[in-house]
A and B are shown apart, each in its own frame.
Chain A
Amino acid sequence: MGLQEIANALLLAGIYACVGMGFSLLYGVMNIVNLAHGAMVMVGAYISFWLFTLWGIDPFISIPASALLLFAIGYPMQAYLVNNVIRSDILRSLLVTYGVEMLLLGAVLVTWGSNYRAITPRYFGAGFQIGRVVIPYLRTGVVAVALAMAVGLNLFMSRTRIGMAIKATALNKEAAALVGINIRRIYAISSGLGCALAGAAGTLVAASYTISPSIEGPYLGNAFVIAVLGGLGNMMGAVAGGVVLALAETVGAVYFGMSFQRLIGFVIFLLVLILRPYGLMGRRFYAEI
């Protein structure tokens, strides 16, 4: 496998990491499997598409916009919908997030139709070359954003009060409540944050691929794998998960043919789970049901 393939895999890992991060946060901290995650990535993608098409705003600059708008969707979703069912069994929260997914999908279909859209920024296709390896600017930007998001979130979770409150709630919500943390509000904020990450991932997806309402399914599946692979609740884990999945898929494609891309990815996923059940960088206290 040549250097070009390795470079391609690492660059693909950038998108994967972003997609996995938001999902990992919700699942790891609150045990909410956000079935609407793929739909939120899709909505974030559309927001950036329209910002680019109507006002020429570069996708990388529109990341805060889609993140903020998705926060505004995620916070009330948690506060008014999921919080009310969070104490009963996990199926209810699955149903609620599934409902949100259908709502978002339907809304996008009705408003913007099923056309394929694409963003083509001016620097698209351009890249730099190291020896015989071509590295497009766009994908490098995606990786940079992914790393920035992971590092930024880590700092947020360990250095700010809200971040530490989120971690505390994930560890033991009764104890957190006892020390005066408003659990419902922290849940809502975490959800908003996770959805904002989904929105940011959506922007990057829109910049790299064509988008249509039908992309939301595959991204949900990917998010699941990447989040669990890397360790739930751990942002750097999502990056690691993204890298492993991307490399596994590329190896599968190169050595066994394109049809084996997903298969090898899932085989690696299963192996990691068998050998390290909490994921590559996961810790025990997250994802405890």
Chain B
Amino acid sequence: MVLRCWKRQNVVKVAAIVLMELFVILLWGGENLVSAQNQAASTIRIGAAISFSGPLAREGNSIAKGYELWAEEANEHGGLDVGGKKYKVQLKLLDDKGDSSTGVKLVEKLITDDKVEFVFGPYGSGMTIAASAVNEKYKKLMIAPMANAPDVYKRGFKYLFGLLPPANRGAGNHVNILRFLEPKPKTVAVVYPDDLFPSSTAKGIKEEAEKQGFKVVYFEKYPKGSKDLTPIISALQPIKPDVFITTGYMEDSVLLVRTSREMRFNVKYFGGLDLFLHEDFLKALGNDAEDLFSHAWWDKVANMKSDVFGSANKVIELYETKHHTEPNYYTISGVATGEVLQSALTKAGSLETDKIRAALLKNQFHTSLLAVKYDDTGANSSGSGVLIQIQKGKPVVVYPQELQQAKPVYPKPPWGNK
């Protein structure tokens, strides 16, 4: 009876509002129902704020796949073994959009709201420096796969453990190989975007180069996200350095190579960081990536021994079965993050943070990414990388000598005119 008095518009409006409310309650309530259910079983909740979108999305997504693979494998084997009891892994990953303040808020939410017991790191030193302050405050352990600017570990934090050794150790390989090249190069130029990790790595390279007797003739930074790098190449052309190294990110590294090609800037040695091996980089440059040198913390060739999986090849196999494509090194680092936590939990035999922390500091771990031995600051003090050169479109390990697959092509042939 009452309904007949209502105008049709009002009914629609009210119905819409009620439906929306129901929807919201269902979503919110539903989530709580599920987590309440899980709290009954033995689970370990692990959270991470990671870049699914934004400028770091490519790397963030790859790492997230690594976390997921590790969690799936752990659960398929009944869960993590802690002191004789098995715990299933429940992973909660949120999008930090490549923005450190978003990441900070999300980690806070994960710890206080979602009550995660452990935190996995975001992608990048800048993001990790910000996010780790949160888990440090709440005394929750964070294992960060990709945070190896030296500054990350200089803050006296007790609850942050990294995976990659500090950056200058690896990038220094670009300098180490130089003495094996004929004719011996003399001058080095380094350019980098104005951001934490690239600049501290670039400084490390400069120090190493000067220590080994090379002359650093150009050392310049450019704004992160710069769309035009022609002034740098213009400035370098009269200087004619033998060696040109960049610690830039994906977009700017591609731009540097393309601009060098456009402006016919030739060097004998063109080197960069691990992203030079990323498929997006190689696809973007095509033939122009030929003869570029890249540092890598990981290469399939090394087939690292893994305490949890047996070997890196096993991890690659598992990933290929699930995703029908090869994992990249970011994904392996995600898996290795899980491996470290898993091994530490087993060794500690307890879920108490202090016991796990002690286990992390005391033991040596072998992961599918690299060997891990922590110093007091939470930095990985073992493990070194390799130098890879793109030869005929394929990455080839050229340094160190023990792992060398082929001799390096040096000097780099000048850019042709197609």
User: For residues 99 through 135 of chain A, which have their beta carbon under 8 Å from a beta carbon of chain B?
Assistant: 109, 113-118, 120, 122-127, 134
Partner of B225, one of A218, A254, A257: A218
* B107 interface residue per 8 A CB criterion: no
On whether the beta carbons of B284 and A120 are closer than 8 Å, the reply is yes
Determine which residue in A115, A214, A254, A258 has the highest number of CB atoms from chain B within 10 A of its CB, and name it. Answer: A258
- CA of A139 to CA of B227, assembled, Å: 14
Whether the pair A259, B418 counts as a contact (CB closer than 8 A) is no
Residues A218 and B227 in contact, CB atoms below 8 Å apart: yes
Q: Does B290 reach chain A (CB closer than 8 Å)?
A: no
Q: Which residues of A contact B223 (CB under 8 A)?
A: 258-259, 261-262
Contacts of A139 in B (CB 8 A): 262
**B54 touching A214, Cβ below 8 Å:** yes
A118-B285, A126-B418, A262-B223 known; A209+B255 contact, CB < 8 A: yes
**Contact between A127 and B251, CB atoms less than 8 A apart:** no
Q: Which of A115, A116, A209 has the most CB of B within 10 A?
A: A116
For chain A, give the interface size range: 35 or more
Contact check: which of B227, B231, B264, B286 meets A209 at CB < 8 Å?
A: B227
Instruction: Tell me if A4 is interfacial: C-beta within 8 Å of chain B.
Output: yes
A134 & B262 in contact (Cβ 8 Å cutoff): yes
> B58 and A116: CB pair below 8 A?
yes
Contact A109 B250 (CB under 8 A): no
> Considering only CB atoms and an 8 Å cut-off, how many residues of chain B contact the other chain?
43
Residue B375 interfacial (CB < 8 Å): no
Alpha-carbon gap, A209 to B418, bound state (A): 19
Q: How far is the CA of A244 from the CA of B255 in the complex (A)?
A: 23
Nearest residue (CB) in A for B194 is A259
With a 10 A CB-CB cut-off, give which of A5, A12, A113, A118 has the most chain B CB atoms. Answer: A118
A2/B234 in contact, CB under 8 A: yes
A209 and B262 alpha carbons, distance in the complex (Å): 12
Taking CB atoms, residues of chain B closer than 8 Å to A78 are: none
Q: Are A253 and B231 in contact (CB under 8 A)?
A: yes
Interface membership of B226, Cβ < 8 A: yes
A136–B234 alpha-carbon span in the complex (Å): 14
Provide the bound-state CA to CA distance between A120 and B285, in Å.
7
The answer to whether residues A114 and B284 also contact, given A254-B231, A258-B232, A261-B226 and a CB cut-off of 8 A, is no
Contacts A116-B254, A116-B284 aside, 4 further interface pairs with beta carbons under 8 A come to A120-B285, A213-B57, A258-B221, A261-B222
Selected A-B contacts with CB under 8 Å, 16 pairs? A2-B234, A4-B263, A5-B234, A12-B228, A113-B57, A117-B283, A123-B418, A125-B258, A125-B288, A126-B417, A134-B262, A136-B262, A138-B262, A253-B232, A257-B221, A258-B222
Chain B residues within CB distance 8 Å of chain A? 52-55, 57-58, 61, 98, 194, 220-223, 225-232, 234-235, 237, 250-251, 254-255, 258, 261-264, 280-281, 283-286, 288, 415, 417-418
